[in-house]
Amino acid sequence: MGMTAAEKILARHAGKSKVKAGEFVFANVDLVMGNDITFPITIEEFKRLGATKVFDRDKIVLVPDHFTPNKDLKSAENAKIVREFARKYEITNYFEVGRMGIEHALLPEQGLVLPGELIVGSDSHTCTYGALGAFGTGIGSTDAAVAMATGKVWFRVPETIKFVFTGKLQKWVSGKDLILAVIGKIGVDGALYKIMEFCGEVIDNLSIDSRFTMCNMAIEAGAKTAFIAPDETALEYVRTRAKREYKIETSDPDADYANVIEINVSNLEPQVACPHSPANVRPVSAVKNVPIDQVVIGSCTNGRIEDLRVAASILKGKKLHPNVRMLIFPGTQQIYREALAEGLIDIFIEAGAVFSTPTCGPCLGGHMGLLAEGERAISTTNRNFIGRMGHPKSEVYLSNPAVAAASGILGRICSPEEVE
């Protein structure tokens, strides 16, 4: 019996020739990532371990992105803790405000995540890196402290579910719709502690930005991580960024899967996740006419340049509904600059939107866009739990950037076709 790609990555990092699902391994990591919310706790645990140095200052990445630019005194103190730790231990990859981005957009862009690598981060959406054929997963602050001190972390080897996508995508349907459709099909625990491996002709033709989006939201189905085998699309992205050697892993033809799920997307509409779960998914045609107060386009899920281009193509020459405010959050400073060079920012501002510096901001109900009681938002972010974006009596609908932009024009959830 062969191995899945994820099993091969874990086996190689554990110094084993073979592993199987359910086995416990102690593996070497290629990168440990932390942010301004989780890492102050990790630092306390690091001290409690009695550690006096990090395992490799080049293999730790610190990104203050959640409550930055600092929204209050507590967030300023947390950012200071991370900053001072980075200086004390001479962490190579510390990204200060103005030179940073939202972590899961920033690390791939900077060539810090490569195929076949094992990446751990004290943030649940570390699974994003599966889009490049890496094993990326979120871990707790204590495990992150141990990993930072020793360069190792333990795993129970997960089972893998293979999702095979066939057919042809309709206009305005993207990776966000594919992953929402999957989560709607299997539920928020449908892949609990499993690998979601995405493949098939649809994935082969999917852009790298859409792949990042799909892998980003695997955690919303309970997955340990997601994985897409690196092909020319992924390698084209990696080649210009990689600063070290990497090893591509792919699943063997006789690999053992917990399940194989085939999904034909030919008739798939843009999808919308309704309150208060990413699994409460319906086609946009079934959610039309829901009035909205706010639109959020961006985040580690849909803040990449392709997402901004799609949204701008909808908004060009149009104005937002007078009852709607729209907030645009680019994934990184580089994406910000690309949007500026392409004239996208002018389109957003002319339409009546506000363009922000990269930050997680409203996605986690942090700052720069919280909802008041009774308000409703449509957002390209990844979660819509009760109170996720503000007041417990507010509502968040999740969609792709095209649906979000179109909804901002009409003041209600709608299909992009209604404003073309």
Average pLDDT over residues 48-70: 96
Say whether both 277 and 135 belong to one domain.
no
pLDDT of 325 reads 98
Say whether both 222 and 320 belong to one domain.
no
What Å distances lie between residue 288 and 265, 282, 344, 415, 419, CA to CA?
21, 10, 27, 8, 13
What is the 3-state composition of the chain as percent helix, strand, coil, each rounded to the nearest 5?
35, 20, 45
Average pLDDT over residues 133-146: 96
pLDDT of 352 reads 98
Structural domain harbouring 292: 271-418
Tens-place pLDDT, residues 252-286: 999 999 999 999 999 999 999 999 999 999 999 99
Rg (CA), the chain: 20
Average pLDDT over residues 155-169: 98
Say whether both 164 and 287 belong to one domain.
no
Q: Which residues pair with 263 in a beta bridge?
A: 165
Residue 229 corresponds to which tokens in the numbers above?
A: 């085998």
**Residue 112, domain CATH:** 3.30.499.10
Tens-place pLDDT, residues 217-233: 999 999 999 999 999 99
Nearest CA to 403 out of 265, 282, 300 is that of 282
Say whether both 242 and 282 belong to one domain.
no
Number of domains in the chain: 2
Tens-place pLDDT, residues 90-100: 999 999 999 99
What Å distances lie between residue 350 and 144, 335, 353, 403, CA to CA?
44, 19, 7, 19
d(CA 234, CA 254): 24
Say whether both 256 and 343 belong to one domain.
no
Say whether both 202 and 301 belong to one domain.
no
Helix (H, G, I), strand (E, B) or coil at 347: helix
Does pLDDT of 120 surpass 90?
yes
**Residue where a domain stops, chosen among 200, 228, 262:** 262
**Residue where a domain stops, chosen among 216, 239, 262:** 262
Mean pLDDT of the chain: 97
Average pLDDT over residues 3-24: 97
pLDDT over 70 percentage in the chain: 100
Say whether both 188 and 292 belong to one domain.
no
Single-letter code of the amino acid located at 365: G
Do 158 and 219 meet the contact criterion of CB atoms below 8 Å apart?
A: no
In the 8-state DSSP scheme, what is residue 146? H
Say whether both 247 and 305 belong to one domain.
no
d(CA 224, CA 128): 11
d(CA 168, CA 364): 34
Name the E strands within 21-106. 24-28, 31-35, 60-63, 93-94
Say whether both 301 and 398 belong to one domain.
yes
Say whether both 33 and 134 belong to one domain.
yes
Say whether both 231 and 101 belong to one domain.
yes
pLDDT of 1 reads 83
**Residue where a domain stops, chosen among 262, 289, 306:** 262
In the 8-state DSSP scheme, what is residue 276? T
Residue labelled with tokens 């706010």? 294
Average pLDDT over residues 52-79: 96
Global pTM? 0.96
Residue 340 corresponds to which tokens in the numbers above?
A: 């500026």
Residues whose CB falls within 8 Å of the CB of residue 49, separated by 6 or more in sequence, listed in order: 145, 146, 149
Say whether both 205 and 293 belong to one domain.
no
